[in-house]
Amino acid sequence: MAIIIVASLLLIAAVGWGVVWNYALQKTVPAEVDAGGIQIGGMPVEEALALLGQYENSLLQRTITIHNEAMKADKKQWTAAELGYIAKFQGAREAIAKLDEGEIWERAVYRYHFQKSYTLTQSWNPAEFDAAVRKQWSWIEKNETKNASRTITDDDKVVYEPHVDAYRLDIGKLTATLDAWVIVKKEQIGKPVEQAFEAELPVAAVHPEVTLEMLKDEGVERKIYEFSTDFRTSAEGRAHNVTVTALALNDWELAPNEVFDYGKLIARAEELYEYREAPVILNGKLVPGIGGGICQVSSTLYNAVLRTGLEIVERRNHSLPVAYLPIGQDATYAGGAINFRFKNTTGKHLIIRTAVEDRKLTVKLFGTMNENERYDIESVTLKTIAPTVQEKSSTRLSPGQKVTVEKGKEGYIVETFRTLVRDGNVVSRDRVSRDTYKSQPTLVEVGAMNNSGAPSPTPAPPSRTAPPLLEDGI
């Protein structure tokens, strides 16, 4: 009986060992094993390893093609592996290889406890993609921006030169899109994946600080008006002062609603040039001084401004009429006392240009103005003021003798009107100024009387002293 029991146990052991032997020496992957979702359980080991290798390789060989839309034949293709992409079923190969390692019992135990799931580890290097694209199309970034420019030609044409854009590769967004494609999502592993990625080369235009559109939006379309005065009879000093003031004014630009300040122009001219001696107006009389002639520029500019309908903020006439303009149409300047200011009410930018040629000063305004509109200027003398007579006793003359040493000049009260004409029809007529030009007295010398007691000439009443007012000079 004992022998039978022993024999039975040996038989059972032999059968069990045979089972263990067969189990341990299987050439298949243990059941229910998957790699990244790919079912390889029960597959022959070699086939499973080949399947995993083929899948990894298929991911590595996916192609990325970037093309330059501006040049149809300009494109470049890389594999995912060339851009640093790595795909590996982490630990799967090593685990499968260990199925054939160790003693029978160790193999059986290892197989029994075999890990059921393995992940697909993926990574790539966006920096390599960035570098590869920039190397391929480095020539695109070898350019610089250039501002648009506006030129006013000698024949008063406004000419625009377009800006030049620069171009830069804008790879950031493309890299993010490629990242979402190259890294296979977990739920897609084991399924057919898109083998090719294709995209347009991302090129961003870089605009300069000043574009053609920006310049044109400023509205400097054409010459809208010009006005001229001459100074042919002026001495060299005065001619110089007119010229350098005009040079300082040339190319002065005003933004919409900006106020022009003649005082700032004079300050600029003094920085750039040196004014010379020429007659100025001091308390209503012409005397030698520095800067005489600067008001011919302000007066010429004033007439151009009047005839374009701009708003006059501050302006006064000279105390004496000027020879180069009708009364009522001049604009004087006295530092710290009298200024000439106007506002750019065109709604667009305004450029002031000046020209001096053959002792003739021309002020030109460039900007925007309706071509069917014009402004007419009319000055009306309301009153003529007769000069007074001032007598002064003189011992040089015979008693009672009278000699006129300076002839007086009449004064005037003048009103100036601006009329807007549109399509040939009067739209409005507004008074822009009421000016007084004081008369200049006639100066008479009278011989002093002898000692007979005859009355002496009646002296002129003393004039009230007033702070000195220097016009048309600095």
pLDDT digits (tens, 9 = 90+) for 333-386: 999 999 999 999 999 999 999 999 999 999 999 999 999 999 999 999 999 999
For residue 397, being part of any structural domain is answered with yes
Are 291 and 299 in contact by the 8 Å Cβ rule? The answer is no
- The reply to whether 322 and 380 lie within a common domain is yes
CA 298 to CA 310: how far, in whole Å?
15
CA 471 to CA 474: how far, in whole Å?
8
Domain, as residue range, for 239: 218-471
Identify which of 3-12, 29-38, 217-226 has the greatest average pLDDT: 217-226
The structural domain count of the chain equals 2
Q: What pLDDT digit, counting tens, does each position of 73-118 carry?
A: 899 999 999 999 999 998 999 999 999 888 999 889 999 999 999 9
Q: What pLDDT digit, counting tens, does each position of 153-195 carry?
A: 999 999 999 999 999 999 998 999 999 999 999 888 888 889 9
Residue with tokens 């009319």: 378
- The reply to whether 400 and 280 lie within a common domain is yes
CA 11 to CA 293: how far, in whole Å?
135
Confidence category of residue 8, pLDDT binned at 50, 70, 90:
low
User: What is the CA angle 265-269-272, rounded to 5?
Assistant: 140
Q: List the strands of the sheet with 411-422, edge to edge.
A: 373-385, 411-422, 425-437
Runs of H (alpha helix) within 137-288: 172-182, 212-217, 236-249, 262-272
- The reply to whether 357 and 247 lie within a common domain is yes
- The reply to whether 393 and 441 lie within a common domain is yes
- The reply to whether 286 and 142 lie within a common domain is no
For residue 19, being part of any structural domain is answered with no
Lowest mean pLDDT among 140-144, 326-330, 433-437: 140-144
- The reply to whether 196 and 233 lie within a common domain is no
- The reply to whether 85 and 139 lie within a common domain is yes
Query: Model-level pTM?
Result: 0.74
- The reply to whether 184 and 106 lie within a common domain is yes
